[in-house]
Amino acid sequence: MSQLADNIITGPLVCQAIPTEKAAALIFVSGLGWMEWVEITGTGAFQGYRTLRCGALEWGTTTAPRSYEADLVGGLGSKTSQASIWAWAQQNGHAVASATWTTRVFKFADVDANTFRFPDLRGIFARFTGTDADTGAAVPIGSYKEDTIKSHQHGSGAGGFVGGQYASGGAPTGYSATGATGTAETAPKHTSFAPRIHI
């Protein structure tokens, strides 16, 4: 009988903690939700349970991360207790050496044998990938781009002329120029949330 049929008859396997060995292909763990058993070799090798939404970005609405979330503020993570998200980062090309890690880029840093660093996405707007309008190049997942303003023009006018009715018939007596305005960044109307990831 299939696991789906078994679950319909007996209900899903509910655990209070994550099993270290395979109990079923799909289980429900209190505080973490649905988890699947995965066995991956090669880059990001991992064997064990991980949440179905592992690696999904979360719009944090609580003051502290929920049991299935981690802050994306550049904090350190454990390669033991948070092995599933570290493996996921490697499997998807989001892991870099500690020396090349920077804020604002969606990359996890390989700090040492026991520790990794989460991305720091504070103060950043999320945007879907596509083509960079300035370069024509593809925009890779997790990349960062500084703020830009689309090319446009500003008008200015002359103040008047002496000795002639038209611009070609006299010398200008003054001019007007555009002045600086605005704030420290270019941003649309927005509501802020905590940057988090599903572990």
Per-residue confidence at 132, pLDDT binned at 50, 70, 90? confident
The answer on 111 and 36 residing in a single domain is no
Residues in the chain: 199
CA-nearest of 87, 108, 84 to 98 is 108
The answer on 193 and 118 residing in a single domain is yes
In a domain, 60, yes or no: no
Taking the mean position of all CA atoms in its chain, how far away is CA 5? 38
The answer on 103 and 27 residing in a single domain is no
Residue type, 167: A
The answer on 87 and 30 residing in a single domain is no
pLDDT score at 65? 97
- Rounded to an integer, the average pLDDT of 131-148 is 88
Report which of residues 98 and 11 the model is more confident about. 98
The answer on 46 and 85 residing in a single domain is no
The answer on 116 and 29 residing in a single domain is no
Report which of residues 158 and 53 the model is more confident about. 53
Check whether 4 has a pLDDT greater than 70: no
DSSP 79: T
In the numeric block, the tokens 């720091």 are attached to 120
Per-residue confidence at 134, pLDDT binned at 50, 70, 90? confident
The answer on 72 and 114 residing in a single domain is yes
Q: What is the pLDDT of residues 34-82, one digit of tens each?
A: 999 999 999 999 999 999 999 999 999 999 999 999 999 999 999 999 9
The answer on 101 and 25 residing in a single domain is no
d(CA 47, CA 41): 8
In a domain, 31, yes or no: yes
Per-residue confidence at 152, pLDDT binned at 50, 70, 90? confident
Q: What is the pLDDT of residues 75-127, one digit of tens each?
A: 999 999 999 999 999 999 999 999 999 999 999 999 999 999 999 999 999 98
pLDDT score at 160? 56
d(CA 169, CA 98): 67
Q: Are strands 57-60 and 14-15 parallel, antiparallel or unpaired?
A: unpaired
Report which of residues 182 and 38 the model is more confident about. 38
Per-residue confidence at 12, pLDDT binned at 50, 70, 90? confident
The answer on 119 and 26 residing in a single domain is no
pLDDT score at 183? 86
Q: Could you give the number of structural domains in the chain?
A: 2
In a domain, 160, yes or no: no
Residue type, 188: P
In a domain, 186, yes or no: yes
pLDDT score at 23? 94
pLDDT score at 2? 62
Domain encompassing residue 194: 68-154+181-198
In a domain, 174, yes or no: no
